[in-house]
Amino acid sequence: MGGQDDSASGKGSKGVYAAPPRATFWQKLGPGGAASLALALLSCLGLAGLPWLVRLWQVLRAARGEEAAPVDAILVLGRRLDHDALTPVFLARLAHAEDLWRQGFAPRLFIAGGTTGTAARSEAEAGRDWLLARGLPAEALLLEDRSQHTLENLFNVRIQMRKAAWRTLLLVSDPLHLARAGTTARGLDLDVSCSAARLAPPGPGTSAWWARAAGEAFLLHWYHTGMLYTRLLGSRQQLDRVT
């Protein structure tokens, strides 16, 4: 699949499930999502939590991020808005992405995130407006404003990158999200490195931080379980969505 354009390979908006705006949890799951979730839960229980512990170690290791290098584009992942306002986590992600852009790591910056929850505007639009107010030029900012979760963020950005023949991506998110986001990006055959927005709450070592780490560990296990389930099932509809 490397280097193929999604439209040329039958991907994109046609034939690939996309959750609707303000999707519920069950709408976000898409084909095979409920089955893979059940398998992830059962495997954790059946193996006394060992898969979760392995993924927790991966989440904590990835939280350090990677050393930034020049790329074709920076991508800052969105976060659900709070009554149309940016949350502290999203603000920290945006501020870190702005800093990377000002340091010259990429000429352009993607802001990802559709209309979620009760918001009247998309996460991407809210993030763009914040960056414009900070003095970034409009021509440097690109929107991905249709997605409902991380997988769709990355899938839709990949379409835009391949159309423009851009290859390398610097992914920005809060530290505990990087393991899952980076793994998902590489599963989509993106040439990606990850940079941590270290000022994003919760603070390291707090109870909220450990709770977030625990949740991300299970979500990462769910991702791997879903990928294995999808490949074993051989469903083209599901494979087109995740690879």
Instruction: Please give the sequence-ordered ranges of beta strands (E in DSSP) within 77-167, or none if there are none.
Output: 109-112, 141-144
pLDDT number for residue 14: 56
The mean predicted confidence, pLDDT, of the chain is 93
The first and second tokens of residue 241, run together, are: 């969505």
Kindly state whether residues 140 and 234 are assigned to the same domain: no
- Residues 112-126: tens digit of each pLDDT: 999 999 999 999 999
SS (H, E, C) 54-103: HHHHHHHHHCCCCCCCCCCEEEECCCCCECCECCHHHHHHHHHHHHHHHC
Is residue 2 situated within a structural domain? Answer: no
Is residue 20 situated within a structural domain? Answer: no
Kindly state whether residues 91 and 36 are assigned to the same domain: no
Kindly state whether residues 83 and 156 are assigned to the same domain: yes
**Tokens 């009247």 correspond to what residue?**
120
Kindly state whether residues 83 and 184 are assigned to the same domain: yes
Angle at 97 between CA 195 and CA 23, to 5 degrees: 90
Is residue 217 situated within a structural domain? Answer: yes
CATH code, domain with 105: 3.40.50.620
Kindly state whether residues 101 and 187 are assigned to the same domain: yes
Kindly state whether residues 133 and 82 are assigned to the same domain: yes
Count H helices and E strands in the chain, helices first: 9, 5
Kindly state whether residues 51 and 83 are assigned to the same domain: no
Phi, psi of 30 (to 5 degrees): 70, -170
pLDDT number for residue 237: 84
User: Residues 202, 191: contact at Cβ < 8 Å?
Assistant: no
% of the chain exceeding 70 in pLDDT: 94
Is residue 45 situated within a structural domain? Answer: yes
The verdict on whether omega for the bond into residue 202 sits within 30 degrees of 0, i.e. cis, is yes
Sheet containing 168-173, strands listed edge to edge, beginning at the edge strand earlier in sequence = 141-144, 109-112, 73-76, 168-173, 191-196
Q: In the predicted model, what is the mean pLDDT of residues 190-213?
A: 97
13 has a pLDDT exceeding 80:
no
**Tokens 């392995």 correspond to what residue?**
54
Domain of 45 in residue numbering reads as: 31-61+208-242
Kindly state whether residues 69 and 125 are assigned to the same domain: yes
Q: Which of 8-12, 121-125, 221-225, 239-243 has the lowest mean pLDDT?
A: 8-12
3-state secondary structure of 200: coil
Distance CA 59, CA 183 (A): 10
Is residue 192 situated within a structural domain? Answer: yes
User: Residues 195, 65: contact at Cβ < 8 Å?
Assistant: yes
Distance CA 167, CA 161 (A): 7
3 has a pLDDT exceeding 50:
no
Phi, psi of 82 (to 5 degrees): -110, 95
Count of domains for the chain: 2
pLDDT number for residue 236: 86
Kindly state whether residues 51 and 170 are assigned to the same domain: no
12 has a pLDDT exceeding 70:
no
Distance CA 159, CA 233 (A): 25
Is residue 16 situated within a structural domain? Answer: no
Kindly state whether residues 228 and 197 are assigned to the same domain: no
Kindly state whether residues 174 and 82 are assigned to the same domain: yes
Q: Which of 2, 5, 57 is nearest to 161 (CA)?
A: 5
Is residue 26 situated within a structural domain? Answer: no
Is residue 8 situated within a structural domain? Answer: no
Kindly state whether residues 103 and 184 are assigned to the same domain: yes
pLDDT number for residue 4: 39
